[in-house]
Structure 1
Amino acid sequence: MSDIQRINPDTLPDAGAMGYAQVTTCTPGKMVFISGQVAWTPGGDPAPDNLAEQAKMASSNLGKALASAGAGPENIVSARAFIVDYTEEKGAEAFPEILAFLGGNQVAFTLIGCAALASPDLMIEIEAIAVV
Structure 2
Amino acid sequence: MSKRLINPEELYDGAAFGMSQATVETELGLVFVSGQVDWNHQYETTEDSIGGQARKALDNLKIALTAAGSSVEQLLQVRVYIRGEVGEHLETLAPILSGFLGDSRPSVTGIGVASLASPSLLIEVEAVASVRQVVG
Class of the TM-score when normalised by the shorter of the 2 chains: 0.7 to 0.9
With over 3 angstroms needed to count, the CA separation of the structure-2 counterparts of 1:80 and 1:116, relative to structure 1, is same
CA contact (8 A) 1:82 1:113 kept: yes
The AA in structure 1 aligned to 2:129 is A
CA contact (8 A) 1:47 1:122 kept: no
Q: What is the aligned partner in structure 1 of residue 50 from structure 2?
A: 51
Residues 7-61 of structure 1: CA deviation (Å, up to 9, x unaligned): xxxxxxxxxxxxxxxxxxxxx8510000000011235553311011111000000
| SS of structure 2 residue aligned to 1:88 | helix
CA contact (8 A) 1:81 1:126 kept: yes
By relative contact order (CA 8 Å, sep 6+), the higher-ranking structure is 1
Q: What is the aligned partner in structure 2 of residue 98 from structure 1?
A: 97
Aligned counterparts of 1:40 and 1:98: Cα–Cα separation in 2? 19
| CA RMSD, 1 decimal | 1.6
Q: What is the aligned partner in structure 1 of residue 113 from structure 2?
A: 114
| SS of structure 2 residue aligned to 1:56 | helix
CA contact (8 A) 1:47 1:121 kept: no
Q: CA deviation at 1:105?
A: 1.2
Q: CA deviation at 1:118?
A: 0.3
Identical counterparts, % of pairs:
38
Aligned counterparts of 2:58 and 2:98: Cα–Cα separation in 1? 9
Q: CA deviation at 1:89?
A: 2.8
Residues 52-91 of structure 1: CA deviation (Å, up to 9, x unaligned): 1111000000000000111110110011000000242312
With over 3 angstroms needed to count, the CA separation of the structure-2 counterparts of 1:92 and 1:51, relative to structure 1, is same
Q: What is the aligned partner in structure 1 of residue 41 from structure 2?
A: 42
| SS of structure 2 residue aligned to 1:48 | coil
Q: CA deviation at 1:93?
A: 1.2
Aligned counterparts of 2:44 and 2:83: Cα–Cα separation in 1? 20
Residue 89 of structure 2 corresponds to residue 125 of structure 1: no
The AA in structure 1 aligned to 2:124 is E
Q: Structure 1 length normalisation: TM-score?
A: 0.73
Q: What is the aligned partner in structure 1 of residue 70 from structure 2?
A: 71
Q: What is the aligned partner in structure 2 of residue 89 from structure 1?
A: 88
